[in-house]
A and B are shown apart, each in its own frame.
Chain A
């Protein structure tokens, strides 16, 4: 019994509370039960959801929940300071402090290693990373944190951007400050979107804190559809191709022919989409069942006709955040063509770094920036830019998809060496002769990949019809469909591992 309580309440880094674990759904089940009793009392509801969100973060990140609470408190009071100050100087001070504190935390936890490694290699030094926060805590309170490493708190990239958007919006007068710190804490930490977004703007979410719970039958159907779709995408497609093809090839590109490397790259292009969009689908569905609306984060990104269009469909909450809080403040397109391009490049490079602290992400961001700049030039001279012909549209989608997939080499590779190895294998060790053998041996993996791409590229109205059909279906049918989807996902999860195959090349 005591072991069960320990498992439930104590932090175990091996078992984080994420959507793809049974434990999360047990947690959600209990939350729903209690929520059923309190949802009508707005203040209690918000306080309860704040408490369970902090518990969720504790189960996911352990003591890092203190960082989340610190971030919440500092931005809550800075927001109030910005709003209540009569003098512009104080308002400015408040917003600068908020940006500084948030970016300092993000940089400290996320970019220290990149910074130290770069300094070491540039100046041939041997500086070691010391976790000064842990050192300070150990000295002050007698804790025993490891000072030799800095771990990255889960979701810090998301909630720091979220709190920055709050103070900036208060400064810009777009939103009034939240009156109660528990309400603000709930906004910052709301568990469905805490770990992997979408990044929710204060102006979109805070008004919902003061509204009564409402959920129509249609919305329930929509939320359930999103949850099932997300689980199917993440577990049935994403995890299967990651485990059986993508991860093993990217771990050792030179052990595989160029053709296998290429298939792994296309596999990854699908996997990263189904993983991330699947996760946010679940987040949106889970939040909606509690009566909260989160913004759409993906819109069939591989149907994009150019790189600019891709970024309007991919991780929409981040790209619009970068546009509003970085690109436009930099000057956007208001200072001439060259400065527009420079601003685009800066935005994409920093956007790349946001995704991960390594040179690969910088390259990835840079390539996307170049893609945007080149497309801006191209559309001025292309005779087909305004063409509605299906072949032109197909060609544009095809090229955009190829380009985005190409940039994924750096997004996925663990190091620049691994990225170079993958390119080398594709260019010099392609071995077209083994293609039929590879196809046959990996037929299940390719089948799942084909299913993933097919469901992505089918016409929007097909998807809409499916969604509408599900929403309209009676409750008993929804129960059966839910069980069937879970049963199907389990088959993929429990399937045999794709055996390692030796293709002599």
Chain B
């Protein structure tokens, strides 16, 4: 067969394809409710793999110092020069200091007249640094973007480097996501974990799930063997170093006992823990490398969380709630949460939600519902500032091309309005990362900054987002410091 015949064969195939492409309706041919037949058109061929925001993403990455590991020191830290000032205005990507820094800062947005919202938190930080107060705490709530300490880890590390503090903060007794860089864990006994978010276990009739929205049930001692939780800390990491352990516990009856075995030595035995909610607080002189916690709760009980922290300094907790939209807090037991919040005494709360209601929820409804949650926090943590972090860009695929979900910007706006109307602050992750249709550029970046579900960031990507948020927060801190100096 001569090559010219092969050429004619391919030309015929091309001709037929062109005819089908011309005849095919733009919306395709409906096969079923969920499926349509599509075919190519010339426009698609010419725009194949066009990643409009690729340059922006490359620039962000080039200007950043982040790596896969959140505990890597930045070469230059925005926190250092107090002169960094940027006029508060509409949020724009503004070079923080074009002479010494190459970074971009996307500003936090405040409610009208609320630009001093974060001052109490910054004041706490200063007091803590000056030794006037011992500790400050940030609770970072969010959806699956935060799973496994992601984003929080970088912000925590950078803040702890400046303001002191070690430890990973609150964790579940049985982690939801394995693979912490701070510690390895195993356990003895049938520990079970229950969550208020996601799929709920119908056998749990109460709604006391603690501030983490989850608890672990403590098993009964079997054959004289107490159930045990075992942690081996990676003390080469700041998040792996702790000298204080707090267990947020609920025992069903009196006379519960907890034994701490640190580095193979029984370090403390606490007996006669009363029934109901209590905080078991253990302080260790020196570094905890290996920790075993034995528990004897005669009728069992619940652990709402264990906090690995330092006696002094800043703590930051990662509370990831898979599938959640930030609408469960006011539905859980208020008193119990209040008690736990009092114990935690946060100086700042970050709420990072929104992605899970795209595209299912009406934005108006979401705005009202989220406002109710913010009101709940206002009541149980009065005076504690809240920064709401909006959803990241998310893409769906249509005819092979990725687009931002249609309702995403409305949901972002709903969150923003609810937040600003409540007097709190908003950080627009969606705009910070590049806005509409930016996600494909993150997926296709080299190295990749987002996963191929076009929703979640890779570790490098989420660290980049963490760094951007940290820079924004520190820019506000610098402004606060400048203001104080000028006064």
Contact = CB atoms under 8 A, between A and B. Distances in A.
Contacts of A23: 48
Contacts of A493: 400
Contacts of A428: 178
Q: For the complex, would chain A's binding face be called helix, strand, loop or mixed by DSSP majority?
A: helix
B270 interface: no
B328 interface: no
A452 to B, nearest CB: 19
Contact of B453 (A213, A494, A497, A504): A497
Contacts of B147: 254-255
Contact of B4 (A36, A255, A490): A36
A32 B456 contact: no
Given A254-B179, A500-B455, A479 B9 contact: yes
Interface stretch (B38-46, B126-134, B299-307, B310-318): B38-46
B38 A494 contact: yes
Interface string A469-484: 0000001001110110
Contact of B397 (A290, A479, A496): A496
A483 B195 CA distance: 52
Contacts of A496: 396-398
A377 interface: no
A22 B3 contact: no
B39 A490 contact: yes
Nearest to A33: B7
B323 interface: yes
A479 B9 CA distance: 7
A251 B458 contact: yes
B451 A429 contact: no
Interface in B364-404: 395-400
Contact of B38 (A254, A478, A491): A491
B209 to A, nearest CB: 14
B198 A504 contact: yes
B37 to A, nearest CB: 6
A455 interface: no
A220 interface: yes
B6 A289 contact: yes
A368 to B, nearest CB: 27
Contacts of A465: none
Given A248-B452, A255-B147, A428-B178, A483 B48 contact: no
A500 B356 CA distance: 10
Interface residues of B, number: 49
A296 interface: no
Interface string A18-50: 000111000011001101100100000000000
Contact of B322 (A28, A491, A502): A502
Given A215-B1, A247-B451, A487-B39, A497 B179 contact: no
Given A35-B3, A504-B199, A243 B49 contact: no
Contacts of B400: 493-494
A247 B144 CA distance: 17
A36 B3 contact: yes
A29 B48 CA distance: 19
B60 interface: no
A29 B14 contact: yes
A206 B7 CA distance: 26
A483 B20 CA distance: 9
A433 to B, nearest CB: 10
A129 to B, nearest CB: 15
B397 A497 contact: yes
Given A21-B48, A491-B37, A502-B198, A32 B178 contact: no
B16 interface: yes
Interface in A101-128: none
B13 A483 contact: yes
Contacts of B13: 479, 482-483, 486
A141 interface: no
Interface string B196-218: 00110000000000000000000
B436 to A, nearest CB: 17
Contacts of B267: none
Interface in B14-58: 14, 16-17, 20, 37-40, 45, 48-49, 51, 54
A2 interface: no
B2 interface: yes
Nearest to A45: B3
A243 B54 contact: no
A424 interface: yes
A421 B198 CA distance: 23
Contacts of B12: 479
B195 to A, nearest CB: 7
10 contacts: A14-B54, A29-B11, A219-B1, A252-B451, A254-B147, A483-B13, A486-B17, A494-B400, A497-B397, A497-B454
Interface of A: 14-15, 21-23, 28-29, 32-33, 35-36, 39, 213, 215-217, 219-220, 242-243, 247-248, 251-252, 254-255, 289-290, 417, 421, 424-425, 428-429, 475, 478-480, 482-483, 486-487, 490-491, 493-497, 500, 502, 504
Given A36-B7, A255-B147, A255-B177, 12 more contacts: A14-B444, A32-B3, A35-B3, A254-B177, A289-B6, A417-B179, A428-B178, A487-B20, A490-B38, A494-B398, A494-B399, A497-B395
Interface of B: 1-4, 6-7, 9-14, 16-17, 20, 37-40, 45, 48-49, 51, 54, 144, 147-148, 177-179, 195, 198-199, 322-323, 395-400, 444, 451-456, 458
